[in-house]
Amino acid sequence: MPLVLWLTQRDRIYTMNEHGKAIVNFQLSLLIYAIICVPLILLLGLGILGLIVIGILYFIYPVINAIKASNGETPSYPLSLNIIS
């Protein structure tokens, strides 16, 4: 959903381009981390712990940054790789 909103609204809404890039980078980064965690499930279950942490981050940080964006602050996502610049 953020990808569709970013692609359709990035030229119309002020700072949408910056926020859209940040959320898409964050979601792609979490997808990469989840793929890395799958083989780690065999290593003492560390992958399960990683997937739980990723799931929590996936829901918490977009809400926090949506509140920040409504206050005019810039988004900040931890562990986010700069894939789309």
Whether residue 8 is contained in a domain is answered as yes
In a domain, residue 77? The reply is no
85 within a domain of the structure (yes/no): no
HEC profile of the chain: CHHHHHHHHCCCCCCHHHHHHHHHHHHHHHHHHHHHHHHHCCCCCHHHHHHHHHHHHHHHHHHHHHHHHHCCCCCCCCCCCCCCC
CA dist 44 and 3 (Å) reads 35
- The overall average pLDDT reported for the chain is 83
pLDDT at 20: 77
Q: Which residue has the higher pLDDT, 37 or 16?
A: 37
* Measured distance CA(29)–CA(23) in Å, rounded: 10
Does pLDDT of 78 surpass 90?
A: no
Residue 24 forms part of a structural domain: yes
- Domain hosting residue 18, numbered range: 2-70
